[in-house]
Structure 1
């Protein structure tokens, strides 16, 4: 099974060690696109910090993020599974998985990124700031830029198994499995159910959406072998105690009543 994840704005920067080696990252077909985005981001942030803040959507208090981006080519890198923090990754708790679950995570998880396209949790990358929704002056909107390079890479990574899409809209816009793989792709939505005047109402949640997706993925990884078909996913989650509905073959709703 392939699991598609968003990145997080929160990152734990490395303090020492070698910089990123683009030649050693997973999905090597993405290297030319990675080089192009990295070069423009570094040049933008090194040449004009004020302009860079505007392009990246950062506040004056986040000027340090611009300086960090300017030094990306020499900054210490660390495994992506240790780099990303935030609600989803805190709930997932990669560092505390047992060895078998950790191996499943290394084989199955693919983290999307405005800078790198997509990486495995074992890929060593530096801390950076570049949302998938950014429009760079030269390359244009990153979501559109990455669709072409990622189309082939996703098809190869998906193999013949199911694809569980846990990404936010900004990163789903970077590309989705196409063709036959699209029929094996299931996108997850988290809904909060409340009862008002005896009537159940449901709403999409944000913060707890991320936490639920992180817990859900952790439970799947620790339960044993991952589901081998998209049709098996709802049953696997129900067996783990989740309330699951399937409004469409390619969509799965997880209903939570307590946040």
Structure 2
């Protein structure tokens, strides 16, 4: 079982690992696309990058960090990404057996395993990054079928917790997906947006720590239910986490 998490816009700075070596990352079939994306991102002048990345002047340091992609120190991906989901996951407290079940979707790297060493960077799934030939294709166009093929090669079930923008970079038809809904006072439901990542972080932790690996959506629901969560199976591969 592999649990694929969404990335975060915010990244932890620094690191004590060696400089980025794209050839050492998991899913080597993604290397050629990674090389092109990383080269184009690193070559983007910081002033131009602000507009391309859709960030303000106060985040200039993140645009400038992209210029150092191949020289900056690295750290394991699961520590690089920060924010609500990763706080709920609490990766530093997880054993290696749990970490081995975790991966993170990425606009720059496609998908990486939890312990893959990566530098700080800024690139979102919805960005149109100028290519060497002057075009500005979407991330979806850049990745094509590569991410789908990489994930499809994984043995066992894929639990895809990525957001829509990152699922579009490489869907897996057989993957289990999870929607988070809350119950209103009148009993009706609404999709959770603000705390969506927090609940998915809790679910990811439960699944990663499970002594058995789920083989299908019903198995995922059973693990979550045993941990005290409320999960409903909507279809063969779609689950709803009710909070």
After TM superposition, the score normalised by the length of structure 1 is 0.88
Q: Deviations over 1:172-217 (max 9, x none)?
A: 110112xxxx23x21100001111xxx2121112231100111111
Q: What residue ranges of structure 1 are gaps of 5+ in the alignment? A: none
Q: Is the 8 A contact 2:177 2:237 kept in 1?
A: yes
Residue 237 of structure 1 corresponds to 224
Partners of 2:29 and 2:107 lie apart in 1 by 16
Residue 160 of structure 2 corresponds to 165
Partners of 1:237 and 1:85 lie apart in 2 by 24
Moved more, 88-97 or 135-144: 135-144
Matched, 1:110 2:103: yes
Q: Is the 8 A contact 1:3 1:164 kept in 2?
A: yes
Matched, 1:120 2:113: yes
Which runs of structure 2 are paired with 1:199-210 in the superposition (5 Å)? 199-210=186-197
Which runs of structure 2 are paired with 1:77-96 in the superposition (5 Å)? 77-96=74-93
Residue 215 of structure 2 corresponds to 228
Cα gap change, 1:213/1:131 in structure 2, threshold over 3 Å: closer, same or farther?
same
Could you say what the CA RMSD is over the residues aligned between the two structures, in angstroms?
1.4
Per-residue deviation at 1:50? 2.4
Q: Is the 8 A contact 2:99 2:115 kept in 1?
A: no
Return structure 1 stretches of 4+ with deviation > 6 angstroms.
Answer: none
Q: Is the 8 A contact 2:216 2:237 kept in 1?
A: no
Per-residue deviation at 1:57? 0.5
Matched, 1:194 2:187: no
Which runs of structure 2 are paired with 1:64-75 in the superposition (5 Å)? 64-75=61-72
Partners of 2:223 and 2:214 lie apart in 1 by 7
Partners of 2:196 and 2:170 lie apart in 1 by 21
Q: Is the 8 A contact 2:4 2:160 kept in 1?
A: yes
Per-residue deviation at 1:68? 0.7
Q: Which has the higher strand share?
A: 1
Q: What residue ranges of structure 2 are gaps of 5+ in the alignment? A: none
Partners of 1:221 and 1:34 lie apart in 2 by 27
Per-residue deviation at 1:144? 2.5
Q: Deviations over 1:207-233 (max 9, x none)?
A: 311001111111222232221333312
Cα gap change, 1:36/1:128 in structure 2, threshold over 3 Å: closer, same or farther?
same
**Other structure's SS at 2:183 match:** strand
After TM superposition, the score normalised by the length of structure 2 is 0.93
**Other structure's SS at 1:200 match:** coil
**Other structure's SS at 1:20 match:** coil
